[in-house]
Structure 1
């Protein structure tokens, strides 16, 4: 989603200045809450094996992968995909938890 898309949707929502700005600010806030920088480790559930939630990661090469968030015994985070390729945080541009990307209501 681009800023132009948000602004077009805001005009359809309400073209008056205050509601328009509120709509745009809310959409931008949501996008910033979903996507995390690699050094940002939100408090999410971890099982006994150190496996966290399924994530969509964007690698530093610009490739998107679906991977599990993993934590070592010192709670350092890294990711591994279905082919067991490991991605360290230095290889990640950003990530989002799959559960945060799924709509709660259709």
Structure 2
């Protein structure tokens, strides 16, 4: 995920959020809510619907059923493969790892 994506989503969220102000200072509960919303968005942003086929020759983590996970490298005939092992959603492993190249200040 690129820093530009995070900035774009934060601006989108800011348009819908209604932080409360107490004497000119942000309410700590509004800040906590915004942090929680951002963290949940980041976690969920990497997951793909099963209807979207992963690129060939890339490692991805797949959720199988309700609670099992496994990694795969390549899946020929995606429709039959994903149905056969009951893939619910998937994410590229590299998208699940922290990005050490960009530091947030």
1:37-83 deviation digits (Å, cap 9, x = unpaired):
212x27x7x4xxxx2421011212632211024465xxxx36xxxxx
> C-alpha displacement at 1:23, in angstroms?
0.4
> C-alpha displacement at 1:93, in angstroms?
1.5
Identify the structure with the greater helix proportion. Answer: 2
- Where structure 1 has 5 or more consecutive residues not aligned to the other structure, the ranges are 1-14, 79-86
Judged with a 3 Å threshold, the aligned counterparts in structure 2 of structure 1 residues 61 and 19 are, in CA distance, closer, same or farther, namely: closer
Judged with a 3 Å threshold, the aligned counterparts in structure 2 of structure 1 residues 69 and 23 are, in CA distance, closer, same or farther, namely: farther
How many residue pairs get matched? Answer: 73
2:62 paired with 1:57: yes
2:35 paired with 1:23: yes
TM-score between both structures, scaled by the size of structure 1: 0.54
Q: Over alpha carbons, which structure has the higher Rg?
A: 2
Identify the structure with the greater strand proportion. Answer: 1
- Where structure 2 has 5 or more consecutive residues not aligned to the other structure, the ranges are 1-26
SS of the residue aligned with 1:89? helix
**CA distance in structure 1 between the partners assigned to 2:74 and 2:91 by the alignment:** 10
Instruction: Tell me, yes or no, if the aligned pair for 2:60 and 2:93 is still in contact at 8 Å.
Output: yes
